[in-house]
């Protein structure tokens, strides 16, 4: 059984992608959550940074283990993101998906995002990999 708990900076450190300072900023600047197993092992972290009203930047880091829980990935996470968008009254949310991982791009589309026109962000990730920029924009 996977449980959802409030995100804390130390949760993301298992992925070794961010400095602790960045992890703390992710905790403070919006809303984030952590997926844990029954033994309190961190399986993934995600959230939306809200740098100004009605605008968000979505982020997600998941373990290979969490990918083996399709109900959580395909039902719970989209519902949580919908709640965040409504709760913050967001009209635009952006995210970047790894340009080399088709499944990341397909998941962004599954969540309701569309590629931006000038979509490639070169050397975007902490490892220097390219990313594809996606956007969700509130329909008027």
DSSP letter for each residue of 77-133 = HHHHHHHHHHHTT-SEEEEEEETT-HHHHHHHHHTT-EEEEEEEETT-STT---EEE
Judge if 4 and 68 occupy the same domain. Answer: yes
Task: Give per-residue pLDDT as tens, 73-113.
Answer: 888 889 999 999 999 999 999 999 988 889 889 999 999 99
Judge if 97 and 63 occupy the same domain. Answer: no
Judge if 77 and 128 occupy the same domain. Answer: no
Judge if 23 and 81 occupy the same domain. Answer: yes
Residue 24 pLDDT class (50, 70, 90 cuts):
confident
Percent pLDDT > 70 in the chain is 97
């Amino acid at each position: 059984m996977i449980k959802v708990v409030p995100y804390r900076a130390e949760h993301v450190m298992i992925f070794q992608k961010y400095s602790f300072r960045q992890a703390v900023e992710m905790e403070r600047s919006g809303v984030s959550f952590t997926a844990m197993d029954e033994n309190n092992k961190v399986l993934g972290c995600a959230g939306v940074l809200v740098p100004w009203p009605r605008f968000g930047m979505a982020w997600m880091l998941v373990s290979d283990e969490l990918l083996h829980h399709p109900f959580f990935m395909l039902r719970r996470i989209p519902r949580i993101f919908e709640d965040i968008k409504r709760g913050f009254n967001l009209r635009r949310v952006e995210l970047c998906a790894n340009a080399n991982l088709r499944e990341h791009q397909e998941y962004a589309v599954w969540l309701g995002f569309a590629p931006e026109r000038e979509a490639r962000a070169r050397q975007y990730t902490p490892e220097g990999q390219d990313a594809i920029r996606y956007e969700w924009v509130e329909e008027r």
